[in-house]
Chain A
Amino acid sequence: QKEVEQDPGPLSVPEGAIVSLNCTYSNSAFQYFMWYRQYSRKGPELLMYTYSSGNKEDGRFTAQVDKSSKYISLFIRDSQPSDSATYLCAMSQYSSASKIIFGSGTRLSIRP
């Protein structure tokens, strides 16, 4: 069993829809939770970072962490075609400036 599980998709939604992306994990020692976005043939870029449980909002993006359920989510409001990419959840035990464990990624497509 992988430490981090993520539905690979693909997920296709119309422009303007709310998108929900999720991951589960098995290692209760994870403290730092991240969402990265990766466009085709590019390296991942950090979207959201959360320490421990709770919610964090940044513009159209909201990240949620529920450590009791070992479940994290990313919500995208008012989705745009430019949001089409692969979204990777990621987590770390000691700090985000150390070893990161990534999910397999969910490929998202926003239809105009």
Chain B
Amino acid sequence: DTGVSQNPRHKITKRGQNVTFRCDPISEHNRLYWYRQTLGQGPEFLTYFQNEAQLEKSRLLSDRFSAERPKGSFSTLEIQRTEQGDSAMYLCASSLQIEETQYFGPGTRLLVL
């Protein structure tokens, strides 16, 4: 499968715990995006990278959220001290800089108890 992959697909955690998600983009895609989607809503932009550089970060993203793309390939999204309001689907997408299409992965569904 050459699409965007995300792991884990599901994560249940207790409030206050840290969680980390991984995204593997389509090979050679230099842009990588993170979005969050809650039930009945569209995806909400969190941040995006060009290669290893983080180009933009949403003002809605609190200091508990951090994303990295250390070698310009896969990316991780970490949430520290999780809260119940963090429960959502976390979507990753990738694209070429010159292309019009962002290709989305299947998402990681997070439930914070």
Contacts and interface: CB of A to CB of B under 8 A. Distances in A.
A102 B44 CA distance: 7
B74 interface: no
Which secondary structure dominates chain A's binding surface?
loop
A36 B44 CA distance: 14
B43 A97 contact: no
Interface residues of A, number: 24
A103 B98 CA distance: 24
A43 B96 contact: no
B49 to A, nearest CB: 11
B91 interface: yes
Given A8-B40, A97-B95, 11 more contacts: A41-B106, A43-B104, A46-B102, A88-B43, A95-B100, A97-B31, A97-B99, A99-B56, A100-B33, A103-B42, A104-B40
A96 B45 contact: no
A104 B100 contact: no
Interface string A70-101: 00000000000000000010100001111111
Interface in B68-92: 91
24 contacts: A6-B42, A8-B40, A43-B4, A43-B91, A43-B93, A43-B107, A44-B43, A46-B103, A88-B43, A90-B42, A96-B101, A97-B31, A97-B96, A97-B97, A97-B98, A100-B43, A100-B102, A101-B45, A102-B42, A102-B43, A103-B42, A104-B40, A104-B41, A105-B41
Interface string B30-65: 010101000011111100100000011000000000
Contacts of A90: 42
